[in-house]
Structure 1
Amino acid sequence: MGRPRRAPEPPAHGAAGLDAEPDATEVARTVALRLLAAAPRSRAQLATKLADRGVAEDVAAALLDRFEEVGLLDDAAYAEMLVRTRHAERGLARRALVAELRAKGITGEVAEVALEQVDDEDEEASARALVARRAPATRGLERDRRRRRLGGMLARKGYPPGLAMRVVDAELAAEDDAAQAEDDGGA
């Protein structure tokens, strides 16, 4: 019988025979649209992903320019959404938000405008809410250890040390006052 014959490469008919190599622009468009359908992204993030997929830089730049023209890509809106949600949901301070924006490829004026949403009062209110929520889990620990843990939690979220310790001390003092009032009222 012998060995089976191999099909000619590329095939003489069918889709592979007509277009052996897909159009680079179509590949880039498909990749970018799939990424944007999964989650909002910055221009820099999409450019990196396209480069990882082997899309030529000039093809990627032209595609991303077109996406910006038609409104599929907007770094300013993305930055504002990122700042708003990360501050509200995770309680991140401006310093942590700057780092997150930078990691997403958003810097300069676009980042500054987005960060204007969070002022000093918002930052302090967020820090107070975080400490109030986490303080009960530290009850039973000695005061200095509680202070370090709560302050460290705020520091990891980007809060300045002075603000962090002021908020922690105020919460611990309020707990002490409440406990003292309870003892006085119950006696």
Structure 2
Amino acid sequence: MSNPGTPRRRTRRRDGLEPPSTGAAAEDPEPPTEEVARTIALRQLTAAPRSRAQLEAAMAKKDVPEDVAARVLDRFTEVGLVDDVAYAEMLVRTRHAERGLARRALAAELRRKGIGPEVAQVALEQVDGDDEIAAARRLAEKKARSTTGLDPQVRRRRLAGMLARKGFPGGVAMRVIDEVLAAEGVDPFGTDDEGGGDWGAWSG
């Protein structure tokens, strides 16, 4: 009969029964499977719409092999879960309506999202010259209200800088700024400048 106060010996593990943390499985793990890739893609799409390139990048961060990612994304495309055309059109509509971005800024954002040039060009056709002028005017009117009382030249520089950051061409921006300030009865050029000035100087 064993002594209760004597610690029991631990039974030695037989060869081949080591815990996984010390075995070959921990040293050489299997690459992520298609199930892992699907889970990553679905989580990304649940959070927000994504382009195919964004989903590929998310999978690459988790070391999903390219061929596995391609197979999963091909199937997602077939069933309509991934659609770069629809994604690009949605992004252009919302960014233009909510943020007032011009075509140049929208094109840059599409590139950052991994949208190809042909798809981007089609999506950008939703915004024409009249749309840009209307958006620029709305933005300039809002900005002008927050700069009331400042020197006309200062107001002009701030309006120009804001519109440049939104991607508006210089001609559109200068036209809208002149109209907005003139509607307030303010001389947009002050007393020293009778012309439109240099766009680079105003927007820099």
- State the TM bucket, normalised to the shorter chain: 0.7 to 0.9
Q: What is the distance in 1 between the residues matched to 2:52 and 2:46?
A: 14
**Paired residues for 1:67-106 under 5 Å:** 67-106=76-115
Q: What is the distance in 2 between the residues matched to 1:122 and 1:133?
A: 17
Shift of 1:165: 1.1
Q: What is the distance in 2 between the residues matched to 1:126 and 1:26?
A: 45
**Paired residues for 1:164-179 under 5 Å:** 164-176=173-185
Name the residue aligned to 1:28: 37
More helix by percentage: 1
List gaps (5 residues or longer) in structure 2. 1-6, 22-28, 187-204
Size of the aligned set, in residue pairs, is: 170
Distance 1:98 1:23, change over 3 A: closer
Shift of 1:84: 0.1
Shift of 1:107: 2.0
2:33·2:68 contact (CA, 8 Å) conserved in 1?
yes
Counterpart among 143, 152, 157 of residue 143 in structure 1? 152
Counterpart among 11, 19, 24 of residue 9 in structure 1? 19
Shift of 1:10: 3.8
Distance 1:21 1:57, change over 3 A: closer
Q: What is the distance in 2 between the residues matched to 1:4 and 1:82?
A: 63
Shift of 1:8: 4.1
Name the residue aligned to 1:130: 139
Name the residue aligned to 2:26: none
Q: What is the distance in 2 between the residues matched to 1:23 and 1:9?
A: 21
Q: Deviations over 1:137-168 (max 9, x none)?
A: 00111001100100110000000011111101
Q: Percent identity?
A: 66
- Structure 2-normalised TM-score? 0.78
**Paired residues for 1:111-126 under 5 Å:** 111-126=120-135
Shift of 1:22: 8.3
Distance 1:128 1:22, change over 3 A: same
Shift of 1:109: 1.4
Q: Deviations over 1:27-80 (max 9, x none)?
A: 000011000000000000000110011100000011111100011000000000
List gaps (5 residues or longer) in structure 1. 12-19, 178-187
Name the residue aligned to 2:68: 59
2:32·2:65 contact (CA, 8 Å) conserved in 1?
no
- Match of 2:39, as an amino acid? T
Name the residue aligned to 1:16: none
- Match of 1:154, as an amino acid? L
- Match of 1:45, as an amino acid? Q
Q: What is the distance in 1 between the residues matched to 2:9 and 2:127?
A: 72
Distance 1:37 1:29, change over 3 A: same
